[in-house]
Amino acid sequence: MTIHKEGKGTLTVSFIALFIINALVQYLTDIQWLHIATLAISVVLYAIVLQFFRNPKRTVTLNPDAIICPADGKVVTIEEVFEDEILKDKRIQLSIFMSPFNVHVNRYPLGGKVAEAIHHEGKFLVAWHPKSSTLNERTTVTIDNDRWGKVLFRQIAGAVARRIVMYAKPEDLALQGSEYGFIKFGSRVDLFLPLDSEILVKEGEVVKGGITELAKRP
């Protein structure tokens, strides 16, 4: 397992800050138990930040007939909605909630040409808030695919997630399962699939990015 490139700056700053705190505690007091407690807490905090940025190797099995999971997490929504930003029609919305303890890499759920890749500034409501998908900071990516038509998916920031990274650009050729972005410290990814999609997962199911098949077309 490797550390994702998006974590290098955060990990460096965290290490320096914790080092300074421990140095000050050592310098300002002779209380031994306080030295040990500060060091122990620092190690735990750094380990937590470190695991946020882990990037385990995944063997992705390409399947043009399937939508594969774009993120690790839990399926929290499967419902019919009207997508009014770009698609302007009814779709099946499938939402995956990423906790702070999930892998935060986001992957293309299908291959094709990137038609839109848009970043929206916004708020930081909790990810399960009903209006987070329209009010929070988010990105919108659409892929033109011969089998699926146009599929839209979004990265949505939450109360903890404060930075969304999107690598996708219009006209890019997307490879199913490859990285298209990263959400620091968790949040949510929404997919908007054709109404005739056969959904292969259920609400509450734990899924893995690049591994779990979410839907197929009949």
Q: Enumerate the domain spans of the chain.
A: 2-55, 66-216
Between the CA of residue 208 and those of 71, 97, 174, 201, what are the distances in Å?
Answer: 6, 11, 19, 12
The C-alpha atoms of residue 114 and residue 144 are separated, in whole angstroms, by 6
Q: Check residue 126 and give its pLDDT.
A: 60
Structure tokens belonging to residue 77: 């929504």
Phi-psi region of 41 (alpha: psi -120 to 50; beta: other; left: phi over 0): alpha
Q: State the virtual CA torsion across 11, 14, 15, 17 in degrees, nearest 10.
A: 160
Q: Which one, of 184, 186, 189, lies nearest residue 210 by Cα?
A: 189
Q: Residues 200, 101: contact at Cβ < 8 Å?
A: no
pLDDT digits (tens, 9 = 90+) for 89-148: 999 999 999 887 888 889 999 999 999 999 988 665 665 555 556 667 889 999 999 999
Please pick, among 42, 132, 133, 187, the residue that the annotation labels catalytic: 187
Active-site residue, 187 included: yes
Q: What CATH class has 66-216?
A: mainly beta
Residue 204 has pLDDT above 90, yes or no: yes
Q: Check residue 125 and give its pLDDT.
A: 61
The C-alpha atoms of residue 71 and residue 211 are separated, in whole angstroms, by 9
